Structure 1
Amino acid sequence: MTELPDPATPLYAHPLPTLECWLKEIGAVQQRGNICRWDLHLSDWSAELELETEELTVRWHQDGSRTVRQFPYGLSRADVEAAIMLGP
């Protein structure tokens, strides 16, 4: 398994295989039909994470509603992970 850099490291400093390893570590599963999209399911909500050119887009789904946020790759992995896991 790929070793992750310090959590304070901006996402742009992570090679793609390292970003994929991190997404797996937080419980996300890569979609078969679109390798840029990942699904994350927790007890209260689910989310679709998309690795885009300029940012990581997160679409949370909870009780029939949807919340969308974009996180620039300049943010630290720790900050983005905290925001994702906080949920909608």
Structure 2
Amino acid sequence: MADNSQSNNRLSMTSTNTDDTSLNASAELSVKIDDLLNQLSNKFAGVSSEIFAKMDEMSRRLDNLEQNLQASHDRSGSRDGKTSPTKM
């Protein structure tokens, strides 16, 4: 009976150790995944802000180009005595 009791204790301890190891591995994996998700989120936010900044810059440049074209068209129209069709 003493052997049986010791055997049960060893199985119980082994089972507890396995459960603890499994819990530790799960917790460690969870921390790693959280870190990875945070890194991806930060990179995505950085890339998104870069894209928006580039789009704002392109929009500003297009507005500037449109103003210059309109001014050029207005100058050439006033020299030729013609009016712009958009100003009718």
Q: Is TM more than 0.5 here?
A: no
**Over alpha carbons, which structure has the higher Rg?**
2
Give the strand-richer structure, 1 or 2.
1
| Shorter-normalised TM range | under 0.3
Give the helix-richer structure, 1 or 2.
2
TM-score between the two structures when normalised by the length of structure 1? 0.20
TM-score between the two structures when normalised by the length of structure 2? 0.20
